[in-house]
Amino acid sequence: METTKPTYAIVFPGQGSQFPGMADPWSTHPAGELVLGEASASMGRDIAAGCHDEAALATTEFVQPALLACGVAAFEVLSAEGLMEGSVVGAAGHSLGEFGALVAAGVLTLPQALEVVVIRGAAMQLAGQERPGTMSALLGVGSADARTLCDDTREDDVLVVANENSPVQVVISGSVPAIERAEALAKERKIRVVRLSVAGAFHSSLMEPASAPINEALDRFVFAPPRFPIAENVTGTLVDDPAELRRLVSLHVLSAVRWEACAQALAAAGASTFIECGAGDVLTKLAKRVVPELRAVAVGSPEAAAEALAAPAA
């Protein structure tokens, strides 16, 4: 009897997944060590050492490139352990993680992506200081209820749905007064709400000051055709045109992350297994909500990478 071969969606986590020592496992594998060395050289800072600095991990400026390096290291270890390019139906990354998907698909090199992400992290940190805001997760509701909550509490402030993560988890973003009003009304409506520890109102118009420096950085590079499609955050659809990827990434920091749609698009493309590359297992847990019929595994070490590839199709 012929065994069905697994087909993979490779996904990369975003900011919030970081933890102290997250780069350490990858330094034990030649492919991971090579990525961390390349990233450290590009940044002029030892990534693995920085991942033990909790003050650095609390800043958008450091944590974004560090997460990118860890995600790409995980992907390169997977490739070294036997991941076949033809078995990957697509990739995606949650917010910052989309740059990991761009590197994995060959759209940007790691040094190119790091250059953009270093600027992106610093620009977002500064935008959060210039135009203060915050974010809160709404648990147990979907996007429609979250939009209604925003409409009912926005008044003259900025308040939007920022992350459509799953049918039962949505993140809202906006000015501090608007978020506080939304949190109060959410509690009245028996919606569980959790304030996030972030440096600003990401994926809202309050990030507008970050757009110009990010786009200036993007303009330095030509986007290459991807080796496999990318489920793009802005649209939630699979994209394989490099010009369109470039256009959508330029909108990224101001637009909602349509993660639920991204996961559904990758499943529709034929993925049998979601492999989360890098720190934590946030996207693995979300996959179990969005596409519960598929297998989802988090790869946080070379051993986990080997185990993920050894498992049969779901």
Q: What is the mean pLDDT of residues 276-283?
A: 94
Q: Which of 29, 94, 203, 252 is catalytic?
A: 203
Please give the CATH number for the structural domain made up of 133-198.
Answer: 3.30.70.250
**CATH 3.40.366.10-classified regions of the chain:** 8-129+206-309
Q: What is the mean pLDDT of residues 291-312?
A: 92
Q: What share of the chain is helix, strand, coil (3-state, %, to 5)?
A: 50, 15, 35
CA distance 310 to 267: 20
Q: Which of 17, 40, 42, 95 is catalytic?
A: 95
Percent of the chain with pLDDT over 70: 98
Q: Note whether 204 and 232 are within 8 A (CB).
A: no
Position 6 scores a pLDDT of 87
Cα distances (angstroms) measured from residue 126 to each of 69, 208, 213, 301: 22, 11, 11, 33
Reported confidence tier of residue 197, pLDDT bands at 50, 70, 90 = confident
For residue 79, indicate whether it is catalytic. no
Q: In the predicted model, is pLDDT for residue 85 greater than 50?
A: yes
Mean pLDDT of the chain: 94
Contacts of 231 by beta carbon, 8 Å cutoff, 6+ apart:
9, 90, 91, 92, 237, 238, 239, 261, 262, 263, 265, 266
Q: What is the mean pLDDT of residues 74-85?
A: 93
For residue 204, indicate whether it is catalytic. no
Reported confidence tier of residue 1, pLDDT bands at 50, 70, 90 = very low
Q: Is 19 exposed, middle or buried (0-12, 13-18, 19+ CB in 10 A)?
A: exposed
Q: Which residues pair with 92 in a beta bridge?
A: 11
Position 3 scores a pLDDT of 53
Position 212 scores a pLDDT of 95
> Radius of gyration (Cα) for the chain, nearest Å?
19
Position 2 scores a pLDDT of 45
**CATH 3.30.70.250-classified regions of the chain:** 133-198
**What architecture does CATH give domain 8-129+206-309?**
3-Layer(aba) Sandwich (3.40)
CA distance 113 to 82: 24
Position 103 scores a pLDDT of 98
Identity of the amino acid at 35 = V
